[in-house]
Structure 1
């Protein structure tokens, strides 16, 4: 219940008290002049409004009683008194007891039916006093309903949030206890097999080493995912993990990638931009970044010392991506002709993909991974002989700017 003082009481109450005094003084009862008793009743119908914002029931009770006595005793009621009755009834229904608002308005319909002399006044109050009380009750009910709806929404949101946190915690436990355990076992067993198997050929040892590297990389990515899943469930228990956004084609990110490749290989690596760079869909930018990263790694491992050009061509509705090296180029077919579209990733001199697999007709997982990334975002990728020699990775990706 609202018990705070409201300055509107001065704006409403003071004019009504003043108007009631003026009206009652003008009410003449014979040659003796103004009837002082009527003046007192007129003040009694308005002055209790000062208690309306702190004691609505007491104020409404005094106002109603004074109004009834004024009508029955003097067959008159000031306009200010009628207004005070309506204000008090509304306020009591709005902030006080709804069960008291209507009973305090009930005498006026009874007086109207009883046929008192002040028929006009009683008829007006018989209609308006209950209506004012009902309006206050309706306003209170509307406010209570809105508050209840807001409270239910808060409870529902809180329940949903706690459910989501619990589900994320469950997924994190499953990933940590089951999946991560098995992946770590893959890494350990691959390393043990490489070190303990006698007479293992170099190619087999290299493949086992690549399996171990891939498993460890998967564990690193899983730890990052676990950090995201546990971010909410461990709030306040441990420091938040540092989260970095997925890489894209921002100039500094591509330059950093090329700098890493340049430092690792000690050879020239250039970035060529054509067209006006725009911000693309994050998925497209991530796919392009990973294709460049994989192509640079492929060139560094299988064409050591070769210079590499990375070209990004923004062509409106498409992004054309080229990664060229001036190394030995793709392997020849059995007939001695170069394989122009090397879907199997074949390279000369036993060229292997970035996972250490031979990339002849056995199939290179690194090149296949690049092709899968391009296809996943609605693009395509080709690998093969570069004009002038060397190896070329060419990708065409959707180039619509992000909304």
Structure 2
């Protein structure tokens, strides 16, 4: 197996049809590829078997999570260089089948089989979740939320920092003028202004997380808040924070599905980073439920990640890595689809603000937090789980920067029959 790196580089370039944009270091210590680039470290031959049995993104993800693959150098530069070979290449398995018609490619595949060793499929890492057939029931949603959010509050404190807000911050023009904590505070304040919160009003915070929005709204705007989450760990953490702030008379945190809230109406509803979990089949049910929980004239602020629309929406598939390791059963929709479903439920959509670049910057801060607290994060979770989060957040930062995905705040109103929305004529005055 002498000089495995050179053989791998040659095989990879024959199979992909383009030069490799990164350098390879193989398990035998050999290196090959362009100098002064990030190094893709292939620690063992098992990594190749993972790619052979699951060509494309999922095979790479399994090798990464298991520690069979690593990157030395700038992680963002490596992912950016490889994006065209992975996320932007299309259906990897179908592309490979088509490529195999070429005799040189078939020869390269035979060489790869020799390099990979015994033709036995390695078991997936234990952090992987199998996708279920029955999606977005109360039980399956609770299980999916638990997988993602019940990693441990201490782990999230490392990643998210003191603000404990797990959605994109709202940054000023110059990054050096703000911290992650201040940018998250500005995001929460922006949501409160858009909702027009004033003392005595009642807010429902759907997917309340660790309580940051509920606490900010109650403390800074004097509203009563009901926060709901499906995560037991989040709820326990949020309740303690509420008590520590002396806000138990104004904030109630529940472990509850949005479909089970029956004590409306509310003056306003915030849904920040929650709607991605709802699912395409349930989205109209979600928007209709929130509409029914609002008073006439009440406002909804829906803060949600969006994907780009496909020419053939019927062929759309969820991201395999994120579905298997990060957000089981999570689904992204184009912003146009979200607006349409809100309108179908009866809402009047009054404002849509894209804050895509803000999420990219936020994710880079979270990655830096994780890398700084790496050893403790591994102890609190597992090496594989920490590797999942590092890859997921870094890759998402690049996806936002490259405009592969976006994030939007949609302000919608349950406009009464009189037509009086209650909004100012110049709505963007909430930027203050």
Query: TM-score, normalised to structure 1's length?
Result: 0.18
TM-score relative to the length of structure 2: 0.17
Structure number with the higher helix fraction is 1
Structure with the higher strand share, 1 or 2: 2
